[in-house]
Amino acid sequence: MEYGSIIGESIEYAKEAVWEKWTKWILLIVSTIIFPLILGYVMEIYRGTKPAPELEHWGKLFIDGLKLIAAWIVYMLPVIAVLLVFGGWALFSAIQQSAMSGNPDFFASNPELLMPLIATFLFGLLIAVILAILISIVAYIGIIRMARAERFGEAFNFSAIFETIRKIGWGGYILALIILVVVVMVFGIILALIMAIPYIGWLIYLVLLPLLSIFQARYLAQVYDAGEDQTIESAVPVQA
């Protein structure tokens, strides 16, 4: 994959989506606030729509956004379970020890007894983060499949998902995701600095936030298409 061209095309795509289209930009800002709408718009971008789609069929956008949220929740159930197990155990142990001591300031008086509980929770948090990263590698492709097939079950068609990743190339795909994370982090830092501007920072933040959503969705759609292109190329007969 040409990572530089994918980034450049995604930036251009996001710019063309809103530049001198002030009404659309305002609607995207409103959609970001009513977040299922912007997620539904992201689903339209996942479908490979080019140029960037218009904001229309609001009911469908809202439903598509809810589907995207539901798919991510299903994918993240193992992560939630890990957090509940480790966090719940640490919390229950803390409450039990405090209750058995009869001293409401038990842990303030014995901070060394709190450290193992904190360590347990942090260990669970580390497992949850690693699990979330591994799951996300699969989930992004699954959700784009769901968007294109317009069937919720396709988000969990693991044989097709892994086949798409194989065609992209595991190394290339993971590197593409790492690059995306770095770019999004840089943009996120810029947005955080903008938020710090007194009075108007939050407004500028809302104005720019849709651009990040559009950029990220277009970038992932192009990465997905890299696997689809491999399928097309392999289907073309070689001429002697």
Domain-embedded: residue 172:
yes
Cβ-in-10-Å burial (0-12, 13-18, 19+) of 116 comes to exposed
pLDDT at 61 over 80: yes
The tens digit of pLDDT for each residue in 157-208 reads: 999 999 999 999 999 999 999 999 999 999 989 988 998 898 898 899 999 9
Domain-embedded: residue 236:
no
Share of the chain above pLDDT 70, in %: 86
CB of 58 within 8 A of CB of 37? Answer: yes
Q: How confident is the model at residue 43 (pLDDT cuts 50, 70, 90)?
A: very high
- List the domain range (segments joined by +) for residue 89: 3-228
Q: Structure pTM? A: 0.86
> Tokens in use for 165?
């990743």
Domain-embedded: residue 21:
yes
| Number of structural domains the chain divides into | 1
